[in-house]
Amino acid sequence: MSSLRFLPLITAVLTAPLFAAAQNGEQLYTQFCSACHAVDGKGANNGMFPPLAGSSWLQDMPKRAVAIVLFGLHGPIEVNGKSYNLEMPPQGAALTDDQIVSILNYVNSSWGNKGETVPRDLIRVTRSEFAARTEPWTAPELLKLFPLPIQKTVLSDLTSRVYKGQWNQIPDFDKIQAENIEEEHHGKISPSISGMDVHFGIVWEGNFMAPENAEYEFALDSDDGARITLNDQVVCEVKGTGPMNGSRAIQNKITLKEGKNTFRMDYFQGTGLKGLELKWKKSGDKAWNWLSDKPTPVKKESPSIPLSPTDESTAIYRNFIEGTTARGIGFGFPGDLNLVYSADNLAPELVWTGEFMDAGRHWTNRGQGNQPPSGVNVIKLTKDRFLPAEARFKGYSLDSKGNPTFHVSIGKQVLSDSWKPGKEGTLLRTLTLTGGPELNIPLGNATVAGAESATLAPGKPVTLTYLLK
Element (H, E) at 415: strand 413-421
Burial-class residue 80 by CB neighbours within 10 Å (0-12, 13-18, 19+): middle
Q: Are residues 162 and 273 in the same domain?
A: yes
Question: Does residue 247 belong to any structural domain of this protein?
Answer: yes
Residues 279 and 311 in one domain: no
Mean pLDDT for the stretch of residues 436-449: 74
Alpha carbon distance 429, 5 (integer Å): 13
- pLDDT score at 424: 79
Could you tell me which residues come within 8 angstroms of residue 309 by beta carbon, excluding any fewer than 6 positions away?
315, 332, 333, 334, 356, 402
Q: What integer is the mean pLDDT of 5-20?
A: 28
Residue 296 lies in a domain: no
Look at residue 20 and tell me if it is in a domain. no
Both 257 and 333 in a single domain?
no
Q: Identify the CATH number of the domain in which residue 219 sits.
A: 2.60.120.1560
Quick check: is 295 in a domain?
Answer: no
453 and 324 share one domain:
yes
CB-facing half-sphere around the CA of 443: CA atoms within 13 A: 23
Residue 298 lies in a domain: no
pTM above threshold 0.85: no
Q: What is the pLDDT of residues 197-255, one digit of tens each?
A: 889 999 999 999 999 999 999 999 999 999 999 999 999 999 999 888 888 899 999 99
| Sequence-ordered strand ranges (E) for 184-327 | 200-210, 214-223, 225-230, 233-238, 250-256, 259-269, 275-282, 289-290, 306-307, 315-317
Which of 152, 227, 209, 211 is CA-nearest to residue 184? 152
**Residue 41 domain-assigned?**
yes
Confirm whether 297 is domain-assigned.
no
Longest C-alpha distance within the chain, in Å?
90
**Is there a single domain that holds both residue 343 and residue 449?**
yes
Q: Structural domain of residue 348, as residue ranges? A: 4-15+303-468
* Domain-terminating residue out of 237, 256, 290: 290
Start-to-end C-alpha separation, the chain: 4
Provide the pLDDT for residue 8. 29
Mean pLDDT to the nearest integer, 12-41: 67
- Residues 309, 372, single domain; the answer is yes
Structural domain count, the chain: 3
Residues 340 and 430 occupy one common structural domain: yes
* Residue 5 Cα distances to 303, 411, 421, 444, angstroms: 36, 32, 15, 14
DSSP per residue over 92-161, as a string?
Answer: TTTS-HHHHHHHHHHHHTSTT--PPPPPHHHHHHHHHHTTT--S-B-HHHHHHHSPPPP---SEEEEEEE
How wide is the angle at C-alpha 147 spanned by C-alphas 82 and 125, nearest 5°? 115
pLDDT for position 9:
27
| Residues 374 and 255 occupy one common structural domain | no
Same structural domain, 249 and 318: no
* Shared-domain flag, residues 207 and 325: no
Residue 313 lies in a domain: yes
Last-in-domain residue among 96, 117, 145: 145
Q: Quick one: pLDDT at residue 175?
A: 95
434 shares its domain with 367: yes
> What was the pLDDT predicted at 387?
86
Position 417 scores a pLDDT of 95
Q: Which residues of 311-332 are buried (b: 16+ CB within 10 A; e: fewer)?
A: eeebbbbbbbbebbbbbbbbbb
